[in-house]
Structure formats: C-alpha cells, structure tokens
C-alpha cells in the first residue's frame, strides 16, 4: 500500500499496523555490531545473565527503528519528504530475543506548510507492544509529507 498524502491524515485516527516482527538474537547482534555499540547488556550473554534482566536486552535504537519501520507501509511509503524530528521517546519495558512486536500509530496533528504549497507536517505518536501487550517503546515523530498532486 502506498503512503498517505497530507490531506488523508486525520488527527485522532489510530492505525493498527498489520505487520509484526519477532525479534531474533541475530537482529540484535547485527544491529549492535553495525552501529558499533559494544554495550554488554546487548551482546554479552554472560554479562546480561548477571544483570537484573537475566538475559540480553534488545538494543533500544533497534526497537525504535523497528517501530517506525513497521508504520511506513500504512503511513509514509513514497509520500514523505523526510523526518523532521522525534521527541518524547521512551522505552518503558525491555524487549528481549523472541518477543513479537506490534505497532499502532496515532495521528496527533496535521498542518500545511506555511512556505511551500506542496507539503505539510504530520505529527505521529508511534507505540510498540510485545506479545503480552506491554508497551516497549513510544515516540512522537514529525514528518514532512507531500500534499496530493493537483
């Protein structure tokens, strides 16, 4: 499905994305290594076993990227000009290997650009949950979106 244009977003609308993903050990290791993040809570099973969690945590930046990535097909695929920022990002519950992530997106606000007639700004709140419906991530994202072609 192609992304939505500015005029198609309605404040208050919640999109429950159908894509889900079970996070693997390989996902976590590859992301941590690719981003040069040596945090032993993510990549050292012995270290993580001695932590309060008892096992490795999924890298929170992977969780953030996955949450936003899952939303793309239903929101911004081919209709976004770019991300303007992300705020209020929280990870209230850890994500672990084997957890399955589902995402919902709420449209918080929509406004046309004041300087360019072909675009506007949409503010989204993305929320990611694990298979037990525990909130594992949330963020507010501002995206520059195209308007419908005239």
Cα 134 to Cα 139: distance, rounded to the nearest angstrom: 15
Q: Which of 126, 68, 132 is nearest to 99 (CA)?
A: 132
Q: Which of 135, 125, 140, 138 is nearest to 87 (CA)?
A: 140
Q: In the prediction, which pLDDT does 150 show?
A: 77
Which tokens sit at 70? 């899952």
Segments in the chain below pLDDT 50: 1
Q: Which of 131, 21, 134, 133 is nearest to 72 (CA)?
A: 21
Q: In the prediction, which pLDDT does 128 show?
A: 98
Q: Note the pLDDT tens digit of each residue in 1-18.
A: 489 999 999 999 999 999
């Amino acid at each position: 499905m192609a992304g939505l244009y500015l005029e198609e977003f309605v404040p208050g609308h919640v999109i429950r994305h159908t894509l889900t993903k079970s996070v693997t050990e390989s996902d976590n290791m590859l992301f941590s290594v690719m981003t040069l993040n040596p945090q032993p809570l993510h990549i050292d099973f012995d270290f993580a076993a001695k932590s309060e969690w008892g096992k490795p945590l999924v890298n929170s930046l992977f969780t953030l990227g996955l949450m936003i990535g899952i939303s793309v097909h239903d929101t911004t695929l081919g209709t976004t000009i770019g991300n303007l920022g992300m705020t209020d990002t929280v990870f209230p519950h850890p994500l672990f290997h084997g957890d399955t992530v589902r995402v919902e997106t709420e449209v918080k606000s929509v406004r046309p650009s004041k300087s360019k007639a072909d675009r506007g700004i949409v503010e989204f709140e993305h929320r990611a949950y694990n298979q037990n419906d525990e909130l594992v991530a949330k963020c507010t994202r501002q995206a520059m979106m195209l308007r419908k072609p005239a």
